[in-house]
């Protein structure tokens, strides 16, 4: 099947009418055993003359991560840490490798030197068949790809395309401000369908509630957006700007700012923001060589903070029928981050003195980009672009 359209800058082809998702055998469920400290780079990534690490990305439940290399891609399990499988291609490597939980379907975007898969194409790869089963071609380079079980989202610098996963039909087109970072976040539970991306104005985030047929524009920052993350159900949004000093958390339905935390005072490039599955913690990594951990003051109503919920178990999950059903699920929490001893003079002294600060930090090499995620039993998993990892 091949689909072409004059009003969109893409061509789609697939070798069959529908895409089938089955569980990958090699990517096993993690064992929740004790873990060690930070580990040195993976041995195969040490020799830059042979293999370059081009990208690292988590799957939707943070149980695995994918590494795009100059020769192909590799999939790793987090707990216990191990490489589960790899695919090496003579044609070149991949700058984007997007997993779909732990199933056989991946989205791949080639690096600049890949002769078969250029950076303006998205390849839907079936690893059980070890072949491409679908392809999206665009006139400009692909900046990011996001997957959920019913959607494929392709991010270009000025536009986002949303496709049906079943038949690859185009469902939505979203115009954005220049988005070279490919910023986009998706909810991952089947009961909600929420997408967050940059809006058309500086510092603005556009939130698409597809299930509610509603769009919310949130003026999150004065500067351009640098990072955005949704909770699993799309109920909460965390954002940072290119200044990298403040992280803000919003209600995605009415746009209310629920909390603001401070990473630091100096300008920093934010690499990633991640929220724990039980919406209890927030982690931020930056080019300052730190991962900051914050306590969230917003909780899902009915949540037991002592439990460790998986995305499928969250009490926040609901059928999207009205905005009021969402508002009722958010309540303030008694948890607190450290603040200045002068915070009682809020409104008199500069805003800095009333800020909430992280209650824990991990210090890492400043010359390496790191991304963080929450594992089991309140652990934090950290992976570096130098091939190092730890939790």
DSSP 207-239: EEETTTTEEEEEE--SSPEEEEEE-TTSSEEEE
Q: How confident is the model at residue 337 (pLDDT cuts 50, 70, 90)?
A: low
Q: What is the pLDDT of residues 84-129, one digit of tens each?
A: 989 888 778 999 999 999 888 999 999 987 778 899 999 999 888 8
Q: Domain ranges in the chain?
A: 10-18+36-175, 179-358
Instruction: Quickly tell me which residue has 């989202």 as its tokens.
Output: 153
Query: Comparing C-alpha atoms, which of 196, 192, 174 is closest to residue 183?
Result: 196
31: confidence class by pLDDT, cuts 50, 70, 90:
very low
Pairing of strands 72-77, 82-88: antiparallel
| CATH class of the domain at 179-358 | mainly beta
Tokens representing 107?
């989205």
Q: Are 19 and 127 in contact (CB under 8 A)?
A: no
Question: CA–CA separation, 140 vs 372, rounded Å?
Answer: 30
- 149: how many CB neighbours lie within 10 A of its CB? 15
In this predicted structure, the answer to whether residue 347 has a pLDDT above a threshold of 80 is no
* Conformational region of residue 290, where left means phi above 0, alpha means psi within -120 to 50, and beta covers everything else: beta
Between vectors from CA 87 to CA 86 and to CA 91, what angle results, nearest 5°?
150
Sign of dihedral through CA atoms 106, 107, 112, 114? positive
Percentage of the chain lying above the pLDDT 70 cut: 73
N-terminal to C-terminal alpha carbon distance within the chain: 45
Residue 47: the pLDDT is 46
Calpha distance 156→178 (Å, rounded) = 9
Q: Worst-scoring range by mean pLDDT, 73-77, 243-247, 269-273, 276-280?
A: 276-280
Average pLDDT, the chain: 79
Average pLDDT over residues 190-215: 95
Q: CATH number of the domain at 10-18+36-175, please?
A: 2.130.10.10
> Could you tell me the pLDDT band of residue 354, with boundaries at 50, 70 and 90?
low
Give the CB-side neighbour count of residue 389, counting CA atoms within 13 A: 23
């Amino acid at each position: 099947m091949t689909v072409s359209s004059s009003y969109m800058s893409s061509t789609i082809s697939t070798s069959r009418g529908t895409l089938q998702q089955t569980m990958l055998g090699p990517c096993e469920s993690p064992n929740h055993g004790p873990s060690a400290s930070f580990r040195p780079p993976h041995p195969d990534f040490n020799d830059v003359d042979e293999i370059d690490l081009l990208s690292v990305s988590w799957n939707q439940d943070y149980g695995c991560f994918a590494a795009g290399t100059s020769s192909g891609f590799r999939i790793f399990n987090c707990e216990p840490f191990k490489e589960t499988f790899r695919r090496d291609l003579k044609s070149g490597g991949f700058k984007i490798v997007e997993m779909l939980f732990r199933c056989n379907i991946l989205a791949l975007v080639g690096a600049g030197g890949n002769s078969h898969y250029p950076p303006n194409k998205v390849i839907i790869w079936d690893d059980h068949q070890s072949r491409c089963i679908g392809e999206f071609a665009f006139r400009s380079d692909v900046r990011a790809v996001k997957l959920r079980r019913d959607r494929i989202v392709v991010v270009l610098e000025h536009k986002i395309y949303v496709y049906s996963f079943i038949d690859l039909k185009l469902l939505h087109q979203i115009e954005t401000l220049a988005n070279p970072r490919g910023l986009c976040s998706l909810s991952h539970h089947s009961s909600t369908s929420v997408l967050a991306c940059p809006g058309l104005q500086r510092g603005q985030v556009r939130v698409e509630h597809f299930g509610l047929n509603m769009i919310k524009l949130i003026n999150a920052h004065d500067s351009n957006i640098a990072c955005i993350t949704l909770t699993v159900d799309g109920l909460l949004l965390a954002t940072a700007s290119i200044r990298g000093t403040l992280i803000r958390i919003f209600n995605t339905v009415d746009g209310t700012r629920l909390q603001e935390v401070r990473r630091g005072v100096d300008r920093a490039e934010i690499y990633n923001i991640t929220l724990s599955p039980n919406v209890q913690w927030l982690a931020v990594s930056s080019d300052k060589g730190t991962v900051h951990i914050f306590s969230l003051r917003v909780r899902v109503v009915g949540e037991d903070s002592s439990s460790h919920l998986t995305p499928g178990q969250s009490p926040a999950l609901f059928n999207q029928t009205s905005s009021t059903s969402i508002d009722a699920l958010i309540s303030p929490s008694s948890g607190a981050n450290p603040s200045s001893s002068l915070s009682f003079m809020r409104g008199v002294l500069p805003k800095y003195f009333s800020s909430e600060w992280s209650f824990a930090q991990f210090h890492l090499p400043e010359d390496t980009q790191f991304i963080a995620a929450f594992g089991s039993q309140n652990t934090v998993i950290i992976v570096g672009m130098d091939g190092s990892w730890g939790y």
